Amino acid sequence: MRAAYASKFDADDPLAALVVGDRPEPAHPDPDWVTVQVRASSLNHHDIWTLRGVGLPADRLPMILGCDAAGVDPDGNEVVVYPVIPDPGDPRGMSLLSENHPGTLAERVAVPRANLVPKPAGMSFVEAACLPTAWLTAYRMLTTRGRVDEGEAVLVQGAGGGVATAAVVLAVALGKRVYATSRDAGKRDRIAALGATALSPGARLPERVDVVVETVGAATFDHSLKSAAPGARIVVSGATAGYEPSVNLRRVFAMQLEILGSTMGTPAELAGLLDLCARREIRPVIDETLPFSGVPEAFARLLSGNVFGKVVLDHAG
Ligand SMILES: NC(=O)c1ccc[n+]([C@@H]2O[C@H](COP(=O)([O-])OP(=O)(O)OC[C@H]3O[C@@H](n4cnc5c(N)ncnc54)[C@H](OP(=O)(O)O)[C@@H]3O)[C@@H](O)[C@H]2O)c1
164: in domain: yes
160 lines ligand 1 (CB under 6 A): yes
Q: Are residues 155 and 211 located together in one domain of the fold?
A: yes
Q: Are residues 161 and 253 located together in one domain of the fold?
A: yes
124: in domain: yes
Q: Which of 130, 169, 240 to mutate to test the pocket of ligand 1 (most atoms within 8 A of CB)?
A: 240
307 lines ligand 1 (CB under 6 A): yes
Residues in the chain predicted with pLDDT less than 50, given as ranges, are none
Q: Are residues 13 and 54 located together in one domain of the fold?
A: yes
238 lines ligand 1 (CB under 6 A): yes
pTM (predicted TM-score) = 0.94
CATH number, domain containing residue 119? 3.90.180.10
Domain that holds residue 24: 2-130+285-314
179: in domain: yes
83: in domain: yes
Q: Are residues 124 and 145 located together in one domain of the fold?
A: no
166: in domain: yes
Q: How many CB atoms lie within 10 A of CB 212?
A: 30
DSSP state of 14: G
Q: Are residues 156 and 198 located together in one domain of the fold?
A: yes
272: in domain: no
> For 290-313, what is each residue's pLDDT tens digit?
999 999 999 999 999 889 999 999
Q: Which of 246, 261, 276 is the last residue of a domain?
A: 261
Contact 119, 80 (CB under 8 A): yes
* H or E segment and range at residue 258: strand 258-261
269: in domain: no
273: in domain: no
Q: Are residues 202 and 122 located together in one domain of the fold?
A: no
Between the alpha carbon of residue 34 and those of residues 13, 96, 98, 141, 212, the distances in Å are: 35, 16, 16, 30, 38
pLDDT of 81: 97
Q: Are residues 103 and 166 located together in one domain of the fold?
A: no
Residue nearest to atom 10 of ligand 1 (CA): 238
pLDDT of 108: 98
Q: Which residues share a beta bridge with 209? A: 228
